[in-house]
Chains A and B, each alone.
Chain A
């Protein structure tokens, strides 16, 4: 069992090795599972504090991330491989399902207490 907040295997790994990555991108099903079950999208073990999100400038500005929640170390390890320009830390987040008229059709996580 990997200790909370520590990545044992993803740090420096490839996106394909990440728990919530399928077919070349973040899987909607697994991002949902990670967000609700409170597990890391990179290593698949329970989240700790703080919770990290990877994204780009637009996601950071919108405060809505398509990547799953992750341990800080896991996110740092994946930041380069997935090409994320921003890493955001938070204590909590809201899980947001897309609406019918939503231009963004993917599920996303909105940090609610940025650190």
Chain B
């Protein structure tokens, strides 16, 4: 369904829709005009803290190596947890937000969307395409947004069921445990590769990038740092694996809680290009869900507990989302539109229920969210490849590499 077909939208007049757009524009302008030294200080502090955490964790594992087992083991365990927290902070609050361009205005050569490379399996370039463009432009649009189940899970009733989905609870657990590698393959568009529709040159280029990044990640955590720990290399290797596991499960949890709780809607709109700014804002609000918690929880989740605010303003500094969330909630209440929010455990409970229910055919379960439309069914994979590497006939070449 198009945004204008959403029941919760139907009571709004076109003038009201545009007025909502204007009010959101005003919030955006206010933040843009006030961002400055305090914001720059914030992100620099977070980066400095993250680096100290990562460095102390790595050093802890190395210097404890010659120590007695009774001292070494707790130090290595604490270092592993510290490294996991450092990786979470780097991926969520720093990497994700820097690559959105939230801090480009600082003109810092390092804290810039064009230069940041993060501590995870997916190359930054591919993330900026699959996330910044595909996911944020086509949020929750079936067949466009590959974040709806990551090409592995059936997360919308409109996605065609097959017996393979019976294993969905297991795939879900595996996706959580191996999340960085699932994300690493996210931009490849495996369905297009399977159908032979992917530009072979581009596919090889992307695979080479992933292989290089993956190799470096592997060497760092499973060869170099364990080797520096000498004869107790296994302890360091286990601690690093634990750190990666912590980051994988946490990133999965936060990302899934942003779009799959019951209140987040799906869309099947075919023509998105003529969507106005106000309609785009509204689709972002309908397609996302917040979770509630204290400042530490929001910091460690990259401020994605404010998923609605992030989707409405993906390139505003993340430290400002808490500041504007009350106003956006009030705006939603004023116009009687949903502002989906709840505690993290409840949001994830709804996600898990959806995973379980959608492993079965639709007639065996009840829908927990408003239907996307009458008898809508889409195939898996991207039905419309917004990023497909089509041939440019005038050039006789593929669009990406021609």
Could you tell me which A residues sit within 8 Å of B by CB distance? 1, 4, 16-17, 19, 28-29, 32-33, 36-39, 44, 46-49, 51, 91-102, 112-113, 115
Q: Tell me how far the C-beta of A96 lies from the nearest C-beta in chain B, rounded to whole angstroms.
A: 8
Q: Are B273 and A36 neighbours in the complex by a CB distance under 8 Å?
A: no
Q: Tell me how far the C-beta of B98 lies from the nearest C-beta in chain A, rounded to whole angstroms.
A: 11
Q: Mark B72-107, 1 if CB is under 8 A from A, else 0.
A: 000000000000000000000000000101011111
Which residues of the other chain, A, contact B401 by a CB distance below 8 angstroms?
44
Q: Are B386 and A113 neighbours in the complex by a CB distance under 8 Å?
A: no
Q: Are A33 and B387 neighbours in the complex by a CB distance under 8 Å?
A: yes
A100 and B13 CA atoms in complex are apart in Å by 13
A100 and B106 CA atoms in complex are apart in Å by 32
Q: Are A17 and B114 neighbours in the complex by a CB distance under 8 Å?
A: no
Within 8 Å by CB of B109, from A19, A44, A49, A94, lies A49
Q: Are B137 and A32 neighbours in the complex by a CB distance under 8 Å?
A: yes
25 contacts between A and B (CB under 8 A): A4-B115, A16-B395, A33-B129, A33-B387, A36-B137, A37-B129, A38-B128, A38-B132, A46-B114, A46-B128, A49-B109, A49-B114, A49-B115, A51-B104, A91-B106, A91-B112, A92-B103, A92-B104, A94-B32, A99-B22, A100-B18, A113-B104, A113-B105, A113-B106, A113-B107
Which residues of the other chain, A, contact B276 by a CB distance below 8 angstroms?
97-100
**B346 at the binding interface (Cβ < 8 Å):** no
**B399 at the binding interface (Cβ < 8 Å):** yes
Q: Mark B222-237, 1 if CB is under 8 A from A, else 0.
A: 0000000000000000
Residue of B17, B133, B400 with most partner-chain A CB within 10 A: B133
A99 and B395 CA atoms in complex are apart in Å by 34
Within 8 Å by CB of A97, from B17, B277, B387, B394, lies B277
Within 8 Å by CB of A112, from B32, B205, B395, lies B32
Q: Are B18 and A99 neighbours in the complex by a CB distance under 8 Å?
A: yes
Chain B, 155-179, CB within 8 A of any chain A CB: none
A17 and B394 CA atoms in complex are apart in Å by 9
**B269 at the binding interface (Cβ < 8 Å):** no
